[in-house]
Structure 1
Amino acid sequence: MKALKNPALQIGIAAIAGIAFGLVAGDWASNLKFVGDLFIRLIQMSIVPLVMASVIVATGSMSGQGAGKLALRTFGWMISFSVVAALLAWGLSELIRPGAGMVFTGELDPALTPPEPTSWQDTVLGFVSTNIFEAMSTANMVPIIVFSLLFGAALNLYIARTGSRLVLGFFDQLQQIVLTMIRLVMYIAPVGVFCLLAALAGDVGFAVVTTALSYLGTTLLGVVILLVLFVAVVALRTRLSPWKLPRKLAEQTAIAVTTTSSAVTFPTVLRNAVEKVGISKRVASFTLSVGLTMGSYGAVLNYTIVVLFLAQAGDVTLSPGQLVLGMGLAVLLNMGTITVPGGFPVVAMFLATSLGLPFEAVGLLIAVDWFTGIFRTFLNVNGDTFVAMLVASASDEIDRDVYDDRKVAAASEDSTTPEEDASTPEDEANAEAAAVKETA
């Protein structure tokens, strides 16, 4: 019975039950979708304040030299893995050729008009908003991250000059309150997941999957290879046992694959990084917040495969310059497009029109995007944790006792979990005895 209290197991059971119910109930299951959407919105409404507070606190509390090293290591690992993801996608696509001989007779959604290609200069300009409140209202994450980094750096200088930590304390308390709010919302996660997947199973036509098995298989294979690479690098650099990772990442993985949203999973990733993996709050807040928009390795992998798929489907030979441009766009476009579900159609159409590829087959990719969304989000959220482990290990800010389950850490002052709520007097007595023994 104790195992049933595990949040990851509860979500997994709810997901299976939801799919089974949806297949039996058919179209009627769509009536449950609003409950799942409500759960997603309850999480999404706290993403912007949580990300802003996390980045500002992490940046504002750094010492000058430490801030530079932390940022350099974070961006270095993220860019390196993104480039590896793009190169791997190119290699697998050339080997498997998922788009070769592809025939798609379905019609493209009339609402999906090809967007006008923009220059890379315009893309970079979009990283900075002229109105931060507008960016916050639309959850445009990249400008929010940029603003928070600059605000945190200015706050750092202000604290060094005046010694006043009042503003920093405010954002630190805000971060802890939002994390507590997320913890309350997660009590209904199994219900939300059940309703989401019941509605999906009752509505989606799974037959379309067989048409795109080669595309899905290429993406899945790439995710598996990158995951093995991540774990190998983490094990070698941190000297931590990789066999403990599945249990520590189980809860965030369950949320990621059932919601296909990195933003919805972010609060759980941040909490688990501190409480289960042992990463310091400073590193976790900074690295994971930046990783929400920059650490989208699954997206880079998938977008590069999309470029090769469309080229092969239309029998178009890409020049080396076009290939490099396609991989570069995949890296750039991953920023800010994967925080919520539904960004893929715009990205796919943009890639097609930017490189002059036939976009008729985009409809097929959109039809199976829920499945590729699972692959992308799985790698995105866990990849961010791996990068945070690498960054924390380099500065000796990963608590090995927490990782080895010899110690408990808390991501916020209110670190009570459902399991801890059920403590007994006997448990409290044992805890007091352990504390006396440790003090002695």
Structure 2
Amino acid sequence: MSSASDSTADQAVVENSDSSKPKRRKRIPFAAQLLIGLVLGLALGYVAREWSVAWLGTALETVGTLFVQLLFLIVPFLVFTAIVASIANLRNLANAGRLVAKTLGWFAITSLIAVVIGIAIGLATNPGSGVELSSAAAAPETQGSWTDFLTGIIPTNLVDAFVNVNVLQIVFVAIVVGAAAAKLGDRAEPFLKFNASALALIQKTLWWVIRLAPIGTAALIGKSVYAYGWDLLEPLAVFSIDIYAGALIILLIVYPVLLRVFAKVSPVQFYRKTWPAIQFAFVSRSSVGTLPLAQKTVTDRLGVDRDYASFASPFGATTKMDGCAAIYPAIAAIFVAQVYGVDLAVQDYFLIAFVSVIGSAATAGLTGATVMLTLTLSTLGLPLEGVGLLLAIDPIMDMIRTATNVAGQMVVPVIVAKSEQLLDRGVYDAAPQPLDEAAAFGGDVPSQQKGEAALQPA
């Protein structure tokens, strides 16, 4: 009898012990939160526009602006510390030179594919046909030329580069500093440790901002619907459709084929795991702003080696722009040429491709692609005033462009990592972990294996 009694008592103790454990509250997955924010933003923007609810439109604009300001607040420091760390981490890879060459090579190849698709779409649809040049159209204030691009790489004042958020100059300085630190070896360790700590601090802060993304998503989408609607797209309907069609061809056909053929991985699995980052890029319109989320997706969800990803992701966020620097300027150049009645020769299309592949760093990962477009137009000798026609709808175009940019920035590391045996297929093929898992544990989830705690904050 005593044995039965003891067993019952032990069971009661276990039950009491289990009941005393705090039950973890179920959380809505981060991806679902973004989707809810997107739908809510569309609804609020529609209500504000259709019923002329001015206060709601102002609120959406204010919240959206604050979110973007928070996102960009430490972008210069994120770019600098990430690039320095990426260069330094290459020391941990025996085949660093080959990895860099392959990565830059795939950046160029995918950009070339994208610009060829853009040219083909533009020639097939004639987006500028029948569009009349508005008398109000003027050249944009921010323009690009090869001279400005080349001379603008090197800053005259380091402080100005950070104050003015000149990402291209910051990247140049970071590359030089990172290369020098790698060359110094042990003597640079204190600096590299400080840089690593600063990068972790910045990423933690940015992660807090990213956690506000559902609210920012609702505000930014609602602001766009309220401010623009579809009225501005009607006169430029063919051009608008061309940009979205070109981006979708890249996203749904080109990238999946490259993943299947060269990486031999499932494209469906890729998009299942990268969708939150792509959606965030669509709303934020910033490759650099999406960098922390995209890099964690590449390492913790797709299984790319961390040392390699720490190089590929920051460089991709500042130079890999299939949407902004390939599809968009190709179609826009054809549009402007047709509006002004300028016939483009075969060599002009080769120039468009050359500018897209070589000059994509001019976009610098921030919102908008005006500099890249003006660089293309000035190279072709086309009137820069034609850009004025496109500035009004640029925010709407920029959404799909940035989503395409970020998707490409995650595709290339997977392809290169697979070719160098730096891709963990177990992590890639595993079911995607919830993005808010780390937040639920306060950001200190111990990973039992690589990629177990998906997207935990740095």
In which range does the TM-score fall when normalised by the shorter chain?
0.7 to 0.9
Determine if contact 1:270/1:285 at 8 Å carries over to the other structure. yes
Q: How far, CA to CA, are the matches of 1:61 and 1:381 in structure 2?
A: 22
Tell me if 1:97 matches 2:121.
no
**Following TM superposition, by how much is the alpha carbon of 1:11 offset from its aligned partner in structure 2, in angstroms?**
1.6
Give SS of 2:239's match: helix
Q: How far, CA to CA, are the matches of 1:417 and 1:398 in structure 2?
A: 23
Residues 289 and 86 (structure 1 numbering): CA distance in 2 closer, same or farther, change over 3 Å?
same
Q: How far, CA to CA, are the matches of 1:295 and 1:104 in structure 2?
A: 32
Tell me if 1:31 matches 2:52.
no
Where does structure 2 lack aligned partners over 5 or more consecutive residues?
Answer: 1-24, 453-458
**Following TM superposition, by how much is the alpha carbon of 1:143 offset from its aligned partner in structure 2, in angstroms?**
2.0
What is the alpha-carbon root mean square deviation over aligned residues? Answer: 3.1
Q: Which residue of 1 aligns with 2:352?
A: 326
**Following TM superposition, by how much is the alpha carbon of 1:308 offset from its aligned partner in structure 2, in angstroms?**
0.8
* Residues 234-313 of structure 1 aligned to structure 2 (within 5 Å): 234-299=259-324, 300-313=326-339
TM-score when normalising by structure 1: 0.85
Q: Which residue of 2 aligns with 1:156?
A: 182
Determine if contact 1:253/1:378 at 8 Å carries over to the other structure. yes
Q: How far, CA to CA, are the matches of 1:313 and 1:100 in structure 2?
A: 7
- The structure 2 residue matched to 1:21, chosen from 21, 41, 44, is 44
Tell me if 1:211 matches 2:228.
no
* Residues 108-257 of structure 1 aligned to structure 2 (within 5 Å): 108=137, 112=140, 115=143, 118=145, 120-159=146-185, 162=186, 165-227=189-251, 228-257=253-282
Give SS of 1:62's match: helix
* Residues 337-356 of structure 1 aligned to structure 2 (within 5 Å): 337=363, 339-344=365-370, 346-356=371-381
Q: How far, CA to CA, are the matches of 1:194 and 1:420 in structure 2?
A: 26
Q: Which residue of 1 aligns with 2:439?
A: 418
Q: Which residue of 2 aligns with 1:51?
A: 79
Residues 193 and 312 (structure 1 numbering): CA distance in 2 closer, same or farther, change over 3 Å?
same
- Of 283-292 and 133-142, more deviation after overlay is shown by 133-142
Instruction: Provide Cα deviations, 1:220-272, integer angstroms capped at 9, x if missing partner.
Output: 22212222212211222222222211221111111111122212212211121
How many pairs align? Answer: 417
Determine if contact 2:140/2:384 at 8 Å carries over to the other structure. no
Residues 91 and 290 (structure 1 numbering): CA distance in 2 closer, same or farther, change over 3 Å?
same
Q: How far, CA to CA, are the matches of 2:275 and 2:292 in structure 1?
A: 14
Instruction: Provide Cα deviations, 1:304-335, integer angstroms capped at 9, x if missing partner.
Output: 11111111222211123333333333445432
Where does structure 1 lack aligned partners over 5 or more consecutive residues?
Answer: 436-440
Q: Which residue of 2 aligns with 1:438?
A: none
Q: How far, CA to CA, are the matches of 1:372 and 1:164 in structure 2?
A: 44
Determine if contact 1:100/1:315 at 8 Å carries over to the other structure. no
Determine if contact 2:89/2:310 at 8 Å carries over to the other structure. no
Q: Which of 1 and 2 has greater Rg? A: 2
Residues 128 and 409 (structure 1 numbering): CA distance in 2 closer, same or farther, change over 3 Å?
farther
Q: Which amino acid aligns with 1:309?
A: F
**Following TM superposition, by how much is the alpha carbon of 1:406 offset from its aligned partner in structure 2, in angstroms?**
7.3
